[in-house]
Structure 1
Amino acid sequence: MGSARRRRERVLEHLTALRRLPLGGAPEPSFRARLRAELLSGAHAGEPVRPAPGRHARRRPTPRRPLVSHLATFGLAAAMMVSAFATYQSVPGDSLYPLKRAAESTLVRLSADDAERGARELDSAKSRAKEVASLLGSSESGPLVSKTLTEMEASTRSGINRLERAEPRSPKIKKFARDQKKVVGPMLPRLSEDQQAQAQGYLHYIEGLAAPQ
């Protein structure tokens, strides 16, 4: 165990020396020879001792635990990635949607300052707009659309207020207003009368943000 550790330390020392070389430089021949010798000695030292061939020599079965462990780790990572993607793609009414909202709230709370917090709240408002667009056309989306429009406006106003305090006349505000108008505007013909009133009031608010000052 101690010899293996010493070999690793020597290899790390060689790698550290390589990192100190100037960009485009190459190690000296003596260094290359020393590194090759170290690697070869480590490879020979790590080879298992094989019994001499004979009548009573038995081949030990290759352990499969490491392979199973790697497969299990890979499967777990893949499952987590699929779950995260499904959570990100969820819309109001989906079982994973509360996790999506909880993750957004956590990011807002962990923001370093008002500027970052405001920007993340505007990102949440953009997500609400996309969710409304996804909900349109569903037979049972009426209450969910109205609720999501309300949350979109709340996130927008909170994010704008924070950004205006931290970065007065920030170009992020105008860009957000222009982008959001392109998403919300086309929804109007597909909304109910009450929902249209909500969306039009929202558009009026963000149009004032995008107007030149």
Structure 2
Amino acid sequence: MSRARMRRERVLEHLAKLRRLPLGGSPEPAFRARLRADLVSGRLLVEEPAEEPAKEPVLPAARTHRRPAPRRSLLSHVATFGLAGAMMVAAFATYQAVPGDSLYPLKRAAESTLVRLSTDEAQRGERELVSAKTRAKEVASLLGSSDDGPLVSKTLKDMESSTRSGISRLERVEPRSPKIKKFARDQKETVEPLLDQLEEAQQAQATGYLDYIEGLVAPPQ
């Protein structure tokens, strides 16, 4: 039981005793002495406010410490640019490689991949004709080197193989495509000036190739 309720009970008890007294009479000395003591002490008049439940202390919100974003060091920037530069140099060197170079197989693999990744027959044919043009330029680059014999012969053979494959694909989807005639004229301008620098067997290869592409330019009978 709370202290406030106990005080109220005591007041009610005193009032009950007062009601039991006869009218006009005075309370007993003992009751008056007890009542006087209670009034003097203030226990009957002043009630202490009811105690409120203790509130939990509110803790300040924890501060979130954000770590500053790490700055990329100068060394990492240099390494990134160095790697990008090395990749560009490697790609350029691969593109410029000729038969006999260490990067040449990578160049041929990249060409084959482009052909396989083409979306349709016409695109595959066009990319094979691009490979044929590249072989013609490689033949021109090989002439005059000490070991040009076998490499030139193989490159001429690969040029003709790519040409026939590309023309066959284009003729299936675009029988009279102007791309075929343009390719034939460009190849003739590249290969024909090389005849005088080729060996006899190589000249026979190149002549047969020129006869084939000449038929692509000639109008149909």
Same fold (TM over 0.5): yes
Give 1:191's aligned amino acid. L
Match of 2:82 among 58, 75, 82: 75
Give the whole-Å Cα distance in 1 for the aligned partners of 2:75 and 2:178: 53
In the alignment, structure 1 residue 110 sits paired with structure 2 residue 106: no
Q: Secondary structure at the match of 1:69?
A: helix
Match of 1:186 among 185, 193, 197: 193
In the alignment, structure 1 residue 89 sits paired with structure 2 residue 113: no
Aligned to 1:51: none
Match of 2:165 among 130, 146, 158: 158
Give 2:139's aligned amino acid. V
Give the whole-Å Cα distance in 1 for the aligned partners of 2:218 and 2:205: 20
Aligned to 1:207: 214
Q: Following TM superposition, by how much is the alpha carbon of 1:139 offset from its aligned partner in structure 2, in angstroms?
A: 1.4
* Higher helix content, 1 or 2: 1
Residues 15-36 of structure 1: CA deviation (Å, up to 9, x unaligned):
xxxxxxxxxxxxxxxxxxxxxx
Gaps of at least 5 residues in structure 2 are 1-69
Q: Following TM superposition, by how much is the alpha carbon of 1:65 offset from its aligned partner in structure 2, in angstroms?
A: 4.2
Give the whole-Å Cα distance in 2 for the aligned partners of 1:171 and 1:203: 18
Q: Which runs of 4+ in 1 moved over 6 A?
A: none
Give the whole-Å Cα distance in 2 for the aligned partners of 1:205 and 1:179: 14
Give the whole-Å Cα distance in 1 for the aligned partners of 2:83 and 2:171: 43
Give the whole-Å Cα distance in 2 for the aligned partners of 1:211 and 1:141: 33
Give the whole-Å Cα distance in 2 for the aligned partners of 1:93 and 1:110: 26
Q: Secondary structure at the match of 1:92?
A: coil
Residues 155-206 of structure 1: CA deviation (Å, up to 9, x unaligned):
0000000000011100000000000000000000000000000000000000
RMSD (Å), alpha carbons: 1.4
Give the whole-Å Cα distance in 2 for the aligned partners of 1:181 and 1:159: 16
Q: Following TM superposition, by how much is the alpha carbon of 1:212 offset from its aligned partner in structure 2, in angstroms?
A: 2.4
Q: What are the within-5 Å matches in structure 2 for residues 16-95 of structure 1?
A: 65-95=72-102
Q: What are the within-5 Å matches in structure 2 for residues 119-130 of structure 1?
A: 119-130=126-137
Q: What are the within-5 Å matches in structure 2 for residues 124-139 of structure 1?
A: 124-139=131-146
Q: Following TM superposition, by how much is the alpha carbon of 1:108 offset from its aligned partner in structure 2, in angstroms?
A: 0.3
Aligned-residue identity in percent: 79
Give 2:203's aligned amino acid. Q
Q: Following TM superposition, by how much is the alpha carbon of 1:64 offset from its aligned partner in structure 2, in angstroms?
A: 7.2
Give 1:208's aligned amino acid. G
Give the whole-Å Cα distance in 2 for the aligned partners of 1:203 and 1:156: 11
Give 1:170's aligned amino acid. S
Q: Following TM superposition, by how much is the alpha carbon of 1:69 offset from its aligned partner in structure 2, in angstroms?
A: 1.3
Normalising by the residue count of structure 2, what TM-score does the alignment of the two structures yield?
0.67
